[in-house]
Amino acid sequence: MWSCLFKFILLTSIGSSIIHGVEEVVPDTLENSIKQGLEGYLNNEKSPAELNQTIRDLQRLNLFRTKDKSLSKASCTACKAGLDVLINARRKGVEKEKFLDVLTKLCAWLKLESEPVCHATVALHIDSLAYIVDNKKDLTSKRVCSIILQEHGCEDPDRKNWTIDIPASKEKPLYVRKECSKSKSLKILQLTDIHYDPGYEAGSNGACQSAVCCQNGSKPSQPENAAGYWSDYRFCDTPWYMITNSIDHILTHHTDLNYIYFTGDILYHKVWDTSIPGNTQIIRDVLQEFKKLFGTTPIYPTLGNHESHPVNLFSTEGVDEPQLSTQWLYDLAAEEWKTWLPIETRETILKGGFYTTLIKPGFRIISLNSNVCYTYNWWLLYDDVDPYGQLQWLVKVLLDAEENNEVVHIISHVPNGDDNCLHNWSREYSKIINRFAHMIAAQFTGHTHHDETLIFFNISNPSQAINVAYNGGSLTTWAHVNPNYKIYEIDSESAEVLDYETWIFNVTDANLSPNISPNWYKLYSFKDAYGVDNLCPHELARLTERMAKTPSLTQLYFRYKYKEADTMLARGCNNQCEIDNLCRMVISYSECTQQCETLKEIYNFARH
């Protein structure tokens, strides 16, 4: 829902009903309908009711809520037509207030959200959007659509295809994994996507028509709609007492933790209700609780896309206006993270929210701000070339680590294989992983709220698995997932992941006994559940082939991906769902599809 609303802000993303069976799209007719409707509305020649035909055209095609390739051309046409009108209107002097009024009314009229929520969301983004249109003189609708609708294949032939300078290895990098040491292993906790909501209230309306429910003061229409005490499977975030309960359980049952990786997203999903002071207070509250409860255990954090204000926006270097700049967040991170990090990390944190440090001699961690690749970060429209020079910095850090014979863990928030990570950024990052795969022992991400695994393959030899990224899931239950954390067993010398455990509690069961602490339990250990000898990339690649052949394994992955949430188990996972899950495991960037196609062939052959 929110992806649709964010696209709407930029291009009046008017697609709401899901109607199938569209066999033919006439781009010229659609383009004219959109242009005439929007131009008339902006020029005060038409009331919202008179835009009915344009609305019906877009609703009929369901353009922005489906990935149906047959509709991709129409999606791009609609996007470019709408944006041509909006960009030209702004350049002809139409004031921001007019855009705010128009977009708010359309958003509410289309029932994407209530009018107050529509107004607040658009109002938070309007200054950034106006700045980008006003100051990027060569901005075109094709450029915008090629970024925000990249999953639909929209193209901009004039867009710069940038690359990162990656020096070749002096010797051929070895993809053979190191032998595990005989010394005692390390234990690392991954905690991610907390999404703390100060407004959560047990017994409030959990079945609202908004993007976030369970809000204090709201009343359920039926008893079954009441929000649970220990959160809720519906569109609800995390109360404070659930955060502290989770940490108390971790500290009680995992007394041998060496390190903690926190992979981002402290803030709630009420993206219309953020502010710099409000975000700052919530971030400080959560991090101070980490410091108090985890004590001297080192924590290595990264930023999530919800930490920024407005949500998703990480401003371009040189944009200094206080209402536009993300510098406040980098200043805050540098101050709050200094408890766990050496002073040497401060420079790059202040520059763009990323850093590197040694965990111990020979073992380096790199924390990236991968939110800059998120296609809902409007600042990519202004300048998408390696924001903050971060990827080029990553190459330098890895070259130095290679020279010093170090092994590396990389943590970030938005996964590289995510559909909404800018393809250019994602491709260059994959090339860096390829070059340094012999020393990058593992990657750890968040953002999706799902317990997932992503395998990277050799670009030169696409059947050869070379690296693995582990997604930590989420503490929030938003939406239709059980809360979880992960415990990794790490080889103390090679830093390889030897195994991991996912721990959860069942929301339905917990809410039956609100006065009792939830029954946290180990859902599974990866090695035991999937019957693998180790978690090396080639072993996991073979596992995906076994999964494609074995229905019980694909169903098991589905169950664990959603952490056995009752609502998702009730929905089930059909053949297309299983194929999608398999392909998400092996597509580390948009052009890396060979393994996906191979798995599809194996899957289809095994079932026919």
Residue 193 counted as an annotated binding residue: yes
pLDDT at res. 114: 87
Integer-rounded Cα radius of gyration of the chain: 24
Q: How many residues does the chain have?
A: 608
Residue 143 pLDDT: 96
Confidence of residue 22 (pLDDT cuts 50, 70, 90): very low
Question: Residue 471: is it exposed, middle or buried by C-beta count within 10 angstroms (0-12/13-18/19+)?
Answer: buried
pLDDT of residue 12: 42
Q: Which residue has the higher pLDDT, 74 or 270?
A: 270
Question: What residues does 407 pair with on adjacent strands?
Answer: 363
pLDDT digits (tens, 9 = 90+) for 63-82: 444 455 556 777 888 888 88
pLDDT of 62 higher than 60: no
Q: How confident is the model at residue 53 (pLDDT cuts 50, 70, 90)?
A: low
In contact, 308 and 371? CB cutoff 8 Å: yes
Residue 450 is labelled as binding a ligand: no
Higher confidence at residue 86 or residue 509?
Answer: 509
pLDDT at 175: 47
The CA distances from residue 106 to 58, 77, 213, 257, 481, in Å, are 13, 19, 23, 51, 32
| pLDDT top residue among 97 and 559 | 559
Q: How confident is the model at residue 545, as a pLDDT? A: 98
Does 509 belong to an annotated binding site?
A: no
Q: What is the 3-state secondary structure (H, E, C) of 449-474?
A: CCCCEEEEECCCCCCCEEEEEEECCC
Residues 385, 160 contacting (CB under 8 angstroms): yes
> What is the Cα–Cα distance from 195 to 193, expressed in whole angstroms?
6
Token couple for 463: 């059947």
Distance CA 430, CA 588 (A): 7
Average pLDDT on 346-367 reads 99
pLDDT bin (cut points 50, 70, 90) of residue 497 is very high
Share of the chain above pLDDT 90, in %: 77
The angle formed by the CA atoms of residues 409, 412 and 413, to the nearest 5 degrees, is 150
Res 17: pLDDT: 27
Please give the full DSSP string across 145-206, using - where no structure is assigned: HHHHTGGGT---TTS-------PPPSSPPP-SPPPPPSSPPEEEEEE----B-TTB-TTSBS
Average pLDDT (451-477) is 97
Region 122-148: mean pLDDT is 95
pLDDT of residue 596: 97
Per-residue pLDDT tens over the stretch 535-546 = 999 999 999 999
Asked whether the beta carbons of 589 and 427 are under 8 A apart, the reply is yes
Is the bond into 479 cis (omega within 30 degrees of 0)? yes
Choice between 200 and 4, residue whose per-residue pLDDT is larger: 200
Domains of the chain: 2-152 (no CATH), 188-200+237-606 (3.60.21.10), 201-236 (no CATH)
- Among residues 360, 359, 379, 361, which one has the least CA distance to residue 369? 379
The answer for residues whose C-beta is within 8 angstroms of residue 6's C-beta and 6 or more apart is: 13, 148, 312, 376
Residues 448 and 410: their CA atoms lie apart, in Å, by 17
pLDDT at 419 over 90: no
Task: Please check if 438 is assigned to a binding site.
Answer: no
How many other CB atoms are found less than 10 A from the CB of residue 597? 11
Mean pLDDT is lowest, of 106-110, 190-194, 312-316, 388-392, for 106-110
How high is the pLDDT of residue 86? 87
Q: Which helix (H) or strand (E) holds 500?
A: strand 497-504
Overall average pLDDT of the 462-482 stretch: 98
Q: What is the pLDDT of residue 501?
A: 99
> Mean pLDDT throughout 574-594?
95
Side-chain-side CA neighbours of 582 within 13 Å: the count stands at: 33
The packing angle between helices 575-586 and 594-606, to 10°, is 150
Mean of the pLDDT values across residues 531-537?
97
Q: Angle at Cα 370 formed by Cα 325 and Cα 283, nearest 5°? A: 60
Residue 419, annotated as binding a ligand: no
Per-residue model confidence as pLDDT tens digits over 300-314: 999 999 999 999 999
Give the pLDDT band (50/70/90) at residue 276.
Answer: very high
Query: Quick one: pLDDT band at residue 24, thresholds 50, 70, 90?
Result: very low
Flag the least confident range among 20-34, 248-262, 464-478: 20-34
In the predicted model, what is the mean pLDDT of residues 382-410?
A: 98
Mean pLDDT to the nearest integer, 115-123: 92
333 CB-near residues (< 8 Å, 6+ apart): 301, 303, 349, 353
362: left (phi over 0), alpha (psi -120 to 50) or beta: left
Q: DSSP state, 273?
A: S
What does the pLDDT read at residue 378? 97
243 pLDDT above the threshold of 50: yes
Whether 414 has a pLDDT exceeding 60, the answer reads yes
Is 538 known as a binding-site position?
Answer: no
Average pLDDT over residues 84-105: 88
Report the predicted TM-score, pTM, of the whole model to 2 decimal places.
Answer: 0.93
Mean local confidence (pLDDT), 435-460: 98
Q: How many CB atoms lie within 10 A of CB 111?
A: 10
What is the spatial distance between Cα 303 and Cα 387, in angstroms, rounded to a whole number? 15
The answer on whether 305 is annotated among ligand-binding residues is yes
- The answer, yes or no, to whether residue 606 has pLDDT greater than 90, is yes
Poorest-confidence range of 49-58, 128-137, 285-294, 388-397? 49-58
CA-to-CA dists, residue 111 to 20, 236, 272, angstroms: 20, 20, 16
Is residue 120 scored above 70 in pLDDT? yes
